[in-house]
Amino acid sequence: MLDAFSIVAIVAGLVFFLAGTVGLLRFPDAFTRLHALTKADNLGVALVVIGLLPQMDGVLAALKLVLVWLLVMLSSAAVSQLIARSVRRQERSE
């Protein structure tokens, strides 16, 4: 039962990664691309981590996975803000 849950969650996470990539390639401007990519990737990472949690041997390994997920969320938010700020500055200077 846990294996089936893990497979479903990981596959769902991969679908969100794919959706974010399609959004990155198809949306017209940098802001909508950033929005699609950060939202879909954060949800994709969350689903993959949730799918992997039942497969972990101990609590320490599970905590490491959750920590990695939190760090990915924090870094993607910070990087997307920096990219958006850079794009806005370029648009103003043109």
**Is the pLDDT score of 29 beyond 80?**
yes
**Is the pLDDT score of 35 beyond 90?**
no
Quick one: pLDDT at residue 48?
96
Mean pLDDT of 22-47: 90
Quick one: pLDDT at residue 30?
87
Quick one: pLDDT at residue 4?
95
Start-to-end Cα distance in the chain:
57
**Is the pLDDT score of 71 beyond 80?**
yes
Three-class SS of the chain:
CHHHHHHHHHHHHHHHHHHHHHHHHHCCCHHHHHHHHHHHHHHHHHHHHHHHHHHCCCHHHHHHHHHHHHHHHHHHHHHHHHHHHHHHHHHHHC
Mean pLDDT of 29-58: 91
Q: What is the mean pLDDT of the chain?
A: 92
Cβ atoms within 10 Å of 68's Cβ, excluding its own: 12
| Tokens 């997920």 sit on residue | 69
Quick one: pLDDT at residue 38?
87
